[in-house]
Structure 1
């Protein structure tokens, strides 16, 4: 009996870790009111191979694929909630998203270079930190059942800065590839062509699946399962083709919404499948962080967290009135844009899967990611409660 457990310890580590994280999240949320995903992240970090040594990343590609599927389901729902018409009717919202992303990029770059960071590393840090994690936002919003101006704005602002973040990151990676290989073709394949192909694949799924569902009829019953299968297939295809699952699934959700396929409120998070994969996603994301790198990059990491907050808060606050909300709600909007971790980790892991690794150069990002993996969702939760967009029973 003991020999069986000893010989299969590596295979049992992940299932036991996921069960433990789920239980910790449920009891922790019940006792403290903290977001479950913050607790999942803390458990994943503590159990990681570089900390307690339980969670190894052997079979890295398969684990990354599952994490991208989990993220893809969230991104599909995230994209589904973006209303392009709202952005057209109130262009100040779109302008706020562009300006806060640009100011974040500039501020992070200046601070990083002031700390003596090499230019290319500073550019990569700036590109990644301009974005907000859709996974963190959407899980907190759904968990709190929040609704209102701040809720909708953070979704739309995050969509804008994520697209800008992925685009900028891919361009910088393409420049890095060109510097190291001297091949313009290789560089372009790793940047703009990847972006275009990813968006095109997501748009194709967004057009074809609604057509298939209309032919089948009974959209309300079939849509959730069909979309879940489609997201899994789309992520697998982009993963195999070394494209961007983030852009593909986000585009898919956006297209599906505007093809008039409706998901009912009871189908949010893709039910039990979404909840299960969410535990795995946040445990996996935190388990990639190493304590030694966090310590070595802590000083710069904390400085970048501070400047990132300052940039986002200043833009959302200053443009709050002209965009149609009170300044106080503008402050809450900027505060709610705190989460970053899952987006950053999966973007870097996907890049590593392509054969390009920046792990040694981006130690400051590890410190930022750990802090915002745990604290970011809490700040989003508090901002939504303070904005009075959470039902009283959830805003204790």
Structure 2
């Protein structure tokens, strides 16, 4: 007869996903807040360091499934990016670059002032530049929002992703070179890996639409084909130690410009995407330890405040130049608050690359937990204040 402990362990993740889904449905119905905030709370409560229901995330295939879920979201984000719009209105990109660099500088100065080691400070500052596309895309789809703030938040979150991954990998390369003095290994695990990731994603972005055209019925088969492409691409990146973040984003970006239809009914990749989204947010919160969250609490609050100020002001400064009001510019910057899932997966990849210094980023655990819950609420409020959410969605 199988051991009772092993049976309970094998049931832990399905049980956690079910609990999180129920919490999300009832929580959204009772409070009107985004479901993913409740997914995060459930994952954090059930995690190994808290209630101990879930095993350590790296002991199973859950981490790979989380990467697949994140890849599906990044593909959808990339598919919604309009490069022609950015070329016609370059001030949007300039605003994103300014707010990201301002965030880096502000967080670096704050962390340095409180005595954080330099390398950890650089990693913290580079991670703080990011905006989590998982939260942005999910809340926008859930709220069915559309308009200037919605589209700019999507485009700027994608830009922030690329900038944060680039800066983070430069810091990782520096750390690897300092510890091993192997320049080739440091370059491969940092900058060259990013270029190869983008190239691999672009190849998929050309190959999958070409395959759909060869099949002759791209509208009917696009969702399944793209989902399989993302799964395969994430698996390749995992094996070759490439960045699935960059690869899947470029996959979606290039696919869009190959002009294969991706209909409105296929947002979130249907039931598969919905299920994997629950898993993703439960996984992300389950990696957090309440002791690290508490110990880095003060610095976490300072980092969250700095991000809100730099991103809101940075985007608002270029509002009129980019064709919108100051108010909508400020709301766009506010909508860039989410961070959690992106940071957790990036830190997991760094840890697998052998960068043990990530364990020192206690402040980031606090930032992650705060924005795991409040990030979705902040972007939801920004979209509501911008009047880009239909009344029916708001009432639901």
> Do the aligned partners of residues 51 and 329 (structure 1) sit closer, same or farther apart at CA in structure 2, a change above 3 Å counting?
same
What per-residue deviation string (whole Å, max 9, x for no partner) do you get for residues 224-262 of structure 1? 000000000000000111110000000000000000011
Aligned-pair CA distance for 1:6: 4.2
Q: Distance in 1 between matches of 2:214 and 2:183?
A: 45
Q: Residue 381 of structure 1 aligns with which residue?
A: 380
2: CA distance between counterparts of 1:111 and 1:240? 37
TM-score by length of 2: 0.98
**Structure 2 residue aligned with 1:89:** 88
Distance 2:366 2:271 in 1: 32
The question of whether the paired residues in 2 share the 8 Å contact of 1:57 and 1:63 is answered with no
Counting only pairs closer than 5 Å after superposition, residues 84-163 of structure 1 correspond to structure 2 as 84-163=83-162
Q: Distance in 2 between matches of 1:31 and 1:229?
A: 36
Gaps of 5+ in 2: none
Q: Is the 8 A contact 1:73 1:228 kept in 2?
A: yes
Q: Counterparts in 2 of 1:1-396, with a 5 A limit?
A: 5-57=4-56, 60=59, 62-396=61-395
- Check 1:58–1:44 CA distance in 2 against 1; reply closer, same or farther (3 A cut): closer
For residues 389 and 308 of structure 1, the distance between their equivalents in structure 2, rounded to whole angstroms, comes to 23
CA distance in 2, matches of 1:178, 1:259: 39
Residues 141-198 of structure 1 show CA distances to partners (whole Å, capped at 9, x for unaligned) of 0000000000000011111111000001001100000000111111111101110110
Rounded Cα–Cα distance in structure 2 between residues aligned with 1:106 and 1:223: 42
Cα distance per residue 1:368-388 (max 9 Å; x no partner): 000000000000001000100
Query: What is the alpha-carbon distance in structure 1 between the residues aligned to residue 217 and residue 98 of structure 2?
Result: 43
**2:6, 2:348 → 1: CA distance?**
29
Q: Is the 8 A contact 2:57 2:287 kept in 1?
A: no
Q: Deviations over 1:301-347 (max 9, x none)?
A: 11111111110011111111111111111111111111100000000
* Structure 1 unaligned regions, length at least 5: none
TM-score (norm 1): 0.98
SS of match in other structure, 1:360: helix
Contact 2:57/2:283 (CA < 8 Å) preserved in 1?
no
Measured in 2, the distance between the counterparts of 1:238 and 1:64 equals: 13
Could you tell me how far apart the structure 1 residues matched to 2:356 and 2:274 are?
30
* Distance (whole Å) between structure 2 residues aligned to residue 96 and residue 58 of structure 1: 37
CA contact (8 A) 1:61 1:353 kept: no
Distance 2:242 2:60 in 1: 14
Alignment partners' CA distance in 1, 2:372 and 2:217: 40
Q: Secondary structure at the match of 2:391?
A: coil
Distance change >3 Å, CA 297–CA 357, structure 1 → 2: same
1:358 CA displacement? 2.9
What is the aligned length?
Answer: 395
After superposing on structure 2, the runs of 4+ consecutive aligned residues of structure 1 that deviate more than 6 Å are: none
